[in-house]
Amino acid sequence: MKNRPVLYVIFTGFILYLLYLQEGLNLREEGSILLLASALGLTVNYIRSYRPKFHRLAVVAGSFSLVLYALLVLSNTSPLAPLLFLFPLTLSILGHGIYGGVILYLLTGAALSYHHQIFGLSEEVYLGTMIILGCALVSLLYFSRIHHQVVKNNEEWLQKLHAKINEMTLLRDITTSMQSVKDLKKLDTIVLTAITAGYGLGFNRGLLFLVEEDTLVGEYAIGPSSRKEAYRIWGDVVIKQSNLHEVLDSPEEKDETLLEVVSKVSLPFSENEFNPLIRCVREKTPLLIRQGNPEDFGPILEKLSFENYAVVPMISKDQVVGVYLVDNCFNQKPIQDEDLDALITFSGQAALAFENIRLYDKIRTLAITDELTSVYNHRHYKDTIARYMESGISFILMVIDVDDFKSFNELYGHATGDQVLQEVGRSLKNAVRFEGEAFRYGGDEFTIILPGRTREKALDVAKTIQDSILSMALHKVDHPLTLSIGLAAYPEDTTCEKELFILADRKLKSAKESGKNTIHWEVV
């Protein structure tokens, strides 16, 4: 407010006028005190606005100067005037603690001593005032200490409350993100980002290991490779004031060195009994280690220099499915019990989401897998064909038929016929594991899709399949098991899915008519 100094002067003049109306008042003496107080008030207010770091010092110095001046004016009329020093003494203790109180007490003693020697302040008043001020100093320091301890305790509790609120908010954000996740890698990214991001729990590095039968294998890792890189990433989060969703949506910054090391980890339980990760799995309890030996983690993880760290199990249905390993190797912040509790909470949520994803994957696999042969079913075949065509990906389509399959059912029974289909399905899966996908089209007819392959490469795959079938020995079956195969290419032969299958099927029939156990890619 621009007119504040003017109003202040008007208000001071009004007070002086009221004092002037009082009988027996020496306006020259008492009025000068009020004018000095007004001037000091304006000065302190200016300092608070433009030099805030000197504000408390200005308040104490101003009050001390005012009392010192008042003592010169009033000491001859009031023996209690020296006690006015209680006012700046209290302000000094409140503003600057024990050192401020002691310094002001000494200054007060020097001022009263000077007044005693020069202006005739009685020794009785001088000593009495110093004793009273000394007692006040001790009392004020005692209560100030109690006050500061209370304030400190309140601040600590407030920090814990804010940390708990942040933890609950982060847990809510993670839970929301997890609800839409159907991919394990994405889940790993969400949880480890929450564990390591400045917005989250703030650990420097986070590593995830999963249990596969009796072995613990490295799954994922997030964390900077150096102190400089760590502070750069944290600084970006602070500057951008990023929340969890923004961090997840931003381009992912991964330390490939850390990921490369973790991906090489494979720890059999029987050979790593004293490894902290294996101990955590076996005992199903978290570990908080200080001044540990990095060599305990084995030759691969040893190079990451984990010394002060925490290991927390990821438990689902009373079974450990993985463990998290975290530390603060760059900022050297000690891991407290509260940090461990928060990590345990996050691990529990991750375990639940992990189990849901596994269940989802299992259901999805069942929905697209043929129950008898374990290859993909006809519906997934249609979806895969449509996906490749929409993406403009070239591929080879094989249509495969078991030669004389009807004879297996008639001579050996349907159980043997099912066995034949199972063995064929297994052989097809193994043959195209790294080349493409195998499907059961219906009955004893199968299809294979080989994306991005030439006719020559597809012919090699087809021959490999036939050779593996010929070498197969069926229990109590004295009948050769052979396959006839027809091939068609997309988009060279046709761009229509229905016509593509008809063309490949026509080539299959041509192969059967030419003697079976043959491969045709051109209609004879």
> For 261-315, how does the pLDDT look when each residue is reduced to its tens digit (9 = 90+)?
899 999 999 888 889 999 999 999 999 999 999 999 999 999 888 999 999 999 9
- Taking every pair of Cα atoms in the chain, the longest distance, rounded to a whole number of angstroms, is 137
The pLDDT-based confidence of 414 (bands split at 50, 70, 90) is: confident
Structure tokens at 139: 């009392």
Please give the pLDDT value at position 4.
Answer: 54
- Residue pair 90/140 in contact (Cβ under 8 Å)? The answer is yes
pLDDT per position as a tens digit, 457-493: 999 999 999 888 877 756 556 777 889 999 999 999 9
Considering only 247-261, 275-289, 335-349, which range has the smallest mean pLDDT? 247-261
Considering only 121-130, 214-223, 274-283, which range has the smallest mean pLDDT? 121-130
Considering only 64-68, 107-111, 352-356, 371-375, which range has the smallest mean pLDDT? 64-68
Please give the pLDDT value at position 239.
Answer: 47
Considering only 331-335, 474-478, 514-518, which range has the smallest mean pLDDT? 474-478
The pLDDT-based confidence of 496 (bands split at 50, 70, 90) is: very high
Write the CATH number of the domain with boundaries 378-520.
3.30.70.270
**Strand 309-316 vs strand 287-289: parallel, antiparallel, or unpaired?**
antiparallel
Residue 441 CA to residue 397 CA, distance in Å, equals: 12
Looking at domain 182-363, its CATH superfamily turns out to be: GAF domain (3.30.450.40)
Considering only 71-80, 95-104, 345-354, 395-404, which range has the smallest mean pLDDT? 71-80
For residue 238, pLDDT beyond 50: no
The pLDDT-based confidence of 173 (bands split at 50, 70, 90) is: confident
Q: In what order do the strands lie in the sheet with 205-212?
A: 266-268, 215-222, 205-212, 319-327, 309-316, 287-289
Per mean pLDDT, which of 42-56, 126-140, 379-393 is the most reliable? 379-393
Looking at the whole model, is its pTM more than 0.75? no
Residue 452 CA to residue 454 CA, distance in Å, equals: 7
- How does DSSP classify residue 335? P
Q: Which residue has the higher pLDDT, 176 or 297?
A: 297
Q: For 197-254, what is the HEC assignment?
A: CCCCCCCCEEEEEEEECCEEEEEEEECCCCHHHHHHHHHHHHHHCCCHHHHHHCCCCC
Please give the pLDDT value at position 452.
Answer: 92
Q: Count Cβ neighbours within 10 Å for each residue of 369-393 and write b for 16 or more, e otherwise.
A: bbeebebbbeebbeebbeebbeeee
Residues of the chain with CATH 3.30.70.270: 378-520
For residue 75, pLDDT beyond 70: no
Q: Which residue has the higher pLDDT, 290 or 141?
A: 290
Residues of the chain with CATH 3.30.450.40: 182-363
Rounded to the nearest integer, the mean pLDDT of the chain is 81
Residue 57 CA to residue 38 CA, distance in Å, equals: 18
Please give the pLDDT value at position 370.
Answer: 94
